[in-house]
Amino acid sequence: MAKVLYTAEAHVTGGRDGHGHTKDNQLDVDLRLPTEMGGAGGGTNPEELFAVGYAACFESALMNVARRKHLEVTDVAIDSKVTLSPNGSGGFVLGVVLDVSIASVTDRDVAAQIIKDAHEVCPYSNAVRGNVDVELLLGGQPL
């Protein structure tokens, strides 16, 4: 069994129209069904939280990969989209688009390889691999 480095703990009541907080109380959010899904809005939702978490994790993985390649990368930005779609059998599936910008790496091939390598080590990428379609973009263009 692998050594556990960290455990996040949260408590949620009320599902998509409820409330959630982390055990350390650093995150405390009202959860609301988005208006696009017939809800009232006025809070966040699991897809937004996933989009933020995945982008943050992916950027950390990318920075780690760049360091291993002895590249100085200081200006990464990631725009993430998480979609929720019916799967045709009563359930739902997620989709993800990560649009990465690395202004300090001007060679597109080098930047694309850093992104691909980050996708191999990012814990979120590893968690969803084979279950969620993830599209990787560099400056709005497919890799």
Give the domain CATH number at 10.
2.20.25.10
Do 72 and 128 fall into the same domain? yes
Cα separation values, 139 from 68, 92, 93, 94, Å: 23, 29, 26, 22
Q: Are residues 94 and 33 in the same domain?
A: no
The answer, yes or no, to whether residue 30 has pLDDT greater than 80, is yes
Q: How many domains does the chain have?
A: 2
Q: Are residues 67 and 21 in the same domain?
A: no
**pLDDT tens sequence across 6-25:** 999 999 999 999 999 999 99
Segments forming the whole domain that contains residue 32: 1-44
1, pLDDT greater than 80: no
CA distance 63 to 105: 12
Judgement on whether residues 9 and 51 belong to the same structural domain of the protein: no
Residue 129: the pLDDT is: 98
* Backbone phi, psi, residue 79, to 5°: -100, 125
Chain position carrying tokens 């996040």: 8
Strand partners, 98: 80, 136
Whole-structure pTM value: 0.95
Q: Is 46 helix (H, G, I), strand (E, B) or coil?
A: helix
